[in-house]
Chains A and B, each alone.
Chain A
Amino acid sequence: MARIVVAPVGEIPAGGRKLVEAEGKRIVVFNLGGEFYALSDRCPHQGGSLCAGLVSGHVESSEPGVYRYARRGEMVRCPWHYWEFDIRTGKSWFDPKRVQVRQFPAQVTSGAALVEGPYVAETFAVRVEDEYVVVEA
């Protein structure tokens, strides 16, 4: 498993996302209010790019006509067929056990820790005084 330095923390604002390619994988990293989540960019249905998908909230209902809308910004919909996935878990709503997007651990790491390596796919200089989003893939 490789550890990929995706970007300086400031490059992916809250609500933003970034697509990275490393180790032969396409991975999309989301920033949900300062927490970072990484999913495969491949929808498990037919391979649509989740990075190009609409990010919305989650709606449930206790009965017809009642809309309980919550978790704004935490669901991503594949642009091809609109299947919705929980950005925090990668699970689909309609079949969370069987239909899910592969998830990768993501975290924020200090530049000081990063310079000790080993890391891959760095296309920018790591500065010890900054913080970086790192994904294990």
Chain B
Amino acid sequence: MPSYGQFRPIDCDLHPMVPGMAALTPYMDEFWRDQVVERGITTLDTQSWPVRSPKTVRTDWRGADGRGAATVGQLRAQSLDRLGTAMGILNPLYGVQLVFNEDMAAAFTRALNDWTRAEWLDQDQRLRASIVLPLQSVEAAVAEIERLAPDRRFVQVLALVMGEVPLGRRQYWPIFEACVRHGLPLGIHAGSAYRHPQTSVGWTSWYLEEYAANQQAFQSTLASLITEGVFTKFPGLRVVLLESGVSWLPGFLWRLQKTWKGVRFEVPWVDRLPAEIVRDQVRLTVQPLDAPEDGAIVQRVMDQLRSDALLLWASDWPHWQFDGDDAMPAGIPESLWPKLMRDNPLATYQRLSEGVVA
């Protein structure tokens, strides 16, 4: 197996984990700092990623307290330096999206983004990050983009796949307009804000059900973005589906496109095949890749996608998707590694190329 380092790989999905609310209060104004203490808000860990679940933090990456991904030092030792990562994109998954109070949500999200900037971006020049959006308020989300976009180390905005209403709805369009204006792709990550049951048939009983259900949400969110005309309205917008599993896409697109042929008059702004829209404007990270470890089968999925530009390499650190340093899913041919690890991320995230030697 070739070493990853020779490809100067770009890791498109890294998850720093906030140790607790005490880590964020230094990044809040005095009112919210005191509110966190007075109300006894100790953590915003969410059940989308239960800290003790084996999936959330790989066993050998956990610290003595059972947590992980708390410091840049851990990221370097466990991932960046081991894999030879040239650049990595941080996607913080702290439960700021679950807060109902819009003002609190905006304050906590600002604190989270500033924590990411000070304690991660400033600590290692290989790092880039997503602007976590306080989607409880479109105005607050746009304001957060405007506040942080001048820092070119923020290369994407981040939403959860299960939010309040389908993400393509027009109320969110000022956010997409800001994304395009600043050259920021819209990253959509597995996880829920718990405004609705995690499945369309109701609340799940088990973590297992919930993690698997993210795939349904990715399908519904992608369908919403396509049918509402987001890609038509914003041809410059790139959407990145993070930790989606990937292999559901061809089958789902088949169903969506087949039905579109009959009822496209409903959505006349969808004026070309949905699969073409996806090929032009949607990208997916490959950790995890839901497929057998059989190169021939993985190749069939790749053929069905009809493009080798769609997939972005990611380790999903510290989530437990692989053992050792086998951070590239089995079955992806080595001939594609340069594209997945370097070319495709650079083509997707225009800000990554700034100051980068070709």
What is A's interface to B at a CB cutoff of 8 Å?
56, 59-68, 77, 81-84, 92-95
**Those 8 A-B pairs whose CB atoms lie nearest each other, nearest first:** A64-B229, A82-B262, A61-B268, A61-B269, A81-B262, A59-B268, A64-B269, A59-B265
Knowing A81-B261, A94-B261 are in contact, say whether A63-B268 is a contact too (CB < 8 A): no
- B230: A residues at CB distance < 8 A: 64
Q: Is B357 an interface residue (CB 8 A)?
A: no
Q: Is B67 an interface residue (CB 8 A)?
A: no
- A94: B residues at CB distance < 8 A: 260-261, 264, 273
Question: How many residue pairs at the A-B interface have CB separations less than 8 Å?
Answer: 44
- In the docked arrangement, what's the CA distance between A134 and B232, Å? 44
What are 26 A-B pairs at a CB distance below 8 A? A56-B265, A59-B265, A60-B268, A61-B229, A61-B232, A61-B268, A63-B232, A63-B233, A63-B269, A64-B228, A64-B230, A64-B232, A64-B269, A65-B269, A77-B262, A81-B261, A81-B262, A82-B262, A82-B263, A83-B262, A84-B264, A92-B261, A94-B260, A94-B264, A94-B273, A95-B273
What is B's interface to A at a CB cutoff of 8 Å?
170, 228-230, 232-233, 260-265, 268-269, 271, 273
- A81: B residues at CB distance < 8 A: 261-262
- A82: B residues at CB distance < 8 A: 262-263
- A77: B residues at CB distance < 8 A: 262
- A92: B residues at CB distance < 8 A: 261
Find out whether the CB atom of B264 lies under 8 angstroms from the CB atom of A93.
Answer: yes
Q: Which of A56, A66, A84, A93 contacts B269 (CB 8 A)?
A: A66
Shortest Cβ distance from B231 into A: residue: A64
